[in-house]
Amino acid sequence: MSTPIKRYHVDDPMDNDYELIESSGGDIVLHTDHLASHAYDEAKERALFEAEFNTLELQGGLNSWTGRWEYDHPHVNSLWQGWLRCAKSRAKAAGWLE
pLDDT in tens, 70-90: 888 888 889 999 999 998 888
Q: What pLDDT score does 60 carry?
A: 87
The pLDDT score that the predictor gives to residue 34 is: 64
Residue 94 neighbours by CB under 8 Å, 6+ apart: 35, 38, 39
Tell me how far CA of residue 47 lies from CA of 16, 19, 44, 72, in angstroms.
Answer: 43, 36, 5, 17
Q: pTM of the prediction?
A: 0.57
| Per-residue model confidence as pLDDT tens digits over 4-38 | 667 776 776 666 667 777 766 666 767 666 666 66
Beta partners for residue 22, in sequence order: 8
